Chain A
């Protein structure tokens, strides 16, 4: 099970979506697919057609910058970051 952490901007958009959850997935893309299965529409909030991660959505797996194809280990920590600043 990967230890998935989501940004606070995402959780208000989907009823019952927690900031942190355990998820069984082989890659970052698989993790997002599992989120999409449970919360339809969520993939479009994180990914663009291609697919690829949205420009200002950054994902880190065990503190390393990741892409959709990055593999997950059994106890990987996955951080999804809304990565932009502004007023």
Chain B
């Protein structure tokens, strides 16, 4: 029987939550990674390895890895660093993507490092040099809050040379030649602030791909959908309680179904009115429905960060999110009902899900 594994990155290490295919009862293991702040933990289905991007205030940034589903861990930062004569510094490893032993690591200052040996050593793949706006990326005065740099990497499901990268506060970029060249993919997005370049200057929070042509995006200002693989975007915010949020998930079997967690946009950045709610569209953003059954509806001032929602690939997909106050909620019926499966974890940065044998 397959095992369902949630990989949870927190301010105080990584945790693993385990269940079976029913996804009703969960067992919590951890903390792992010696309690380092973990910004993103993922599972490479091709090799079975877990990777965790972590940055210690004392000991710097590194990628932890476990080849035995969390029983043992080791870390490496060999090669994660800009040249000695560069003014750029790696202050944080922010995000990960992996397939079949190749690991991509997004860092701040913006750049992507890769490992071809399963996370033992790394080398610089790209800094997106030459892209509009890139001349300002290294200026600390221009860094947005959070200093994430490359805040997310999304892989193409078939083509290893093609992927997307978000530069925080700048926009979405696509490469089709393994990072040799990049193209901004921000047309049609909204920005409520001045921008020095036509193609960039957008605050892209999260991008998920539902099939070969459709992408969804939670932006700082609005939900958006692309039906031409990111070449253009259409806003689909209408019907949601706010335009702001971080986390998002696309249904694995239905391209029109998509989930998002709107948050109050100003300082609070928590769920509106203190009612925990995931919003679902089943018609590609034409209408939205609140999913609340089993979620706290009173004084629940919960925040959910960019990588802190995930959806599995069972026939009836399970949906999961973790909060900035350490709760993990799970649904085994596509968001129809929810259970709190962990209550007292450290602040959660990321939730990913894997199905393992």
Residues of A within 8 A of B (CB): 7, 9-10, 12-13, 40-41, 44-46, 48-50, 54, 56-57, 82, 84, 86
Chain B positions within 8 Å of A84 at CB level: 57-58
Instruction: Indicate if B81 sits at the interface (CB-CB under 8 A).
Output: yes
Residue pair A49, B58 in contact (C-beta under 8 Å) = no
Residue pair B82, A56 in contact (C-beta under 8 Å) = no
Residue of A44, A50, A54, A86 ringed by the most chain B CB atoms within 10 A: A44
Residue pair A49, B84 in contact (C-beta under 8 Å) = yes
Residue pair B59, A13 in contact (C-beta under 8 Å) = yes
Residue pair B57, A86 in contact (C-beta under 8 Å) = yes
Per a CB cutoff under 8 Å, which of A9, A44, A49, A86 touches B34? A9
Chain A positions within 8 Å of B59 at CB level: 9-10, 13, 45-46, 54, 57, 82
Residues of B within 8 A of A (CB): 34, 56-60, 62, 75-78, 81-84, 86, 89
List 19 additional contacts besides A13-B59, A44-B81, A48-B89; criterion CB under 8 Å: A7-B58, A9-B56, A13-B34, A40-B78, A46-B59, A49-B81, A49-B82, A49-B83, A49-B84, A49-B86, A49-B89, A54-B58, A54-B59, A54-B60, A56-B58, A57-B58, A57-B59, A84-B57, A86-B57
Residue of A nearest to B56 (CB): A9
Chain A positions within 8 Å of B58 at CB level: 7, 9, 54, 56-57, 82, 84
Chain A positions within 8 Å of B34 at CB level: 9, 12-13
- Inter-chain CA distance A35–B60, complex, in Å, is 17
Chain B positions within 8 Å of A57 at CB level: 58-59
